[in-house]
Amino acid sequence: MEIKQEISGFEIVCRTKKFDKRVHILHWHDRYEFCQVLTNDLRIIIEGKEICASTGDMIAIGERVVHQFIIDNDDTFIRIVQLPIKLLLNFKSMVKPLKTHMKAAEIEAVPDLKSGLNAIFDI
């Protein structure tokens, strides 16, 4: 099994990306990663646990956490934001309680959570 490490500087990564059907390589980042599913369902393996995510769901992945996307449909769009650990040091107490997988309905039910996540994805 191959695991890829992605190393970066201080930059913030924010992109909306189209993925076609495939299994991505196991990898990790030195940043927090927030993923919002925009179209289709997908599966993601996070530290060996499979999560099924649907349109509107948000996935939060901590730094140095091994993960892998399994895309079952072509034309799957995901919005990805990666923030450096250094940037989050003052906010770690807020980031740690985030659930790994938040369903769209959970996000919609809490207006402050929804606006906070929108702020992250609008970077």
User: CB neighbours of 53 closer than 8 A, spacing ≥ 6?
Assistant: 35, 37, 41, 42, 43, 44, 59, 101
DSSP letter at 110 equals -
Domain boundaries, given as residue ranges, for the chain? 3-121
pLDDT tens digit sequence for 54-84: 999 999 998 889 999 999 999 999 999 998 8
Q: Are 123 and 81 in contact (CB under 8 A)?
A: yes
The CA–CA distances, whole Å, from 91 to 68, 73, 84, 96, 97 equal: 26, 35, 12, 9, 11
- Residue range 3-121, CATH number: 2.60.120.10
All residue ranges of the chain with pLDDT < 70 are 1-10, 87-98, 123
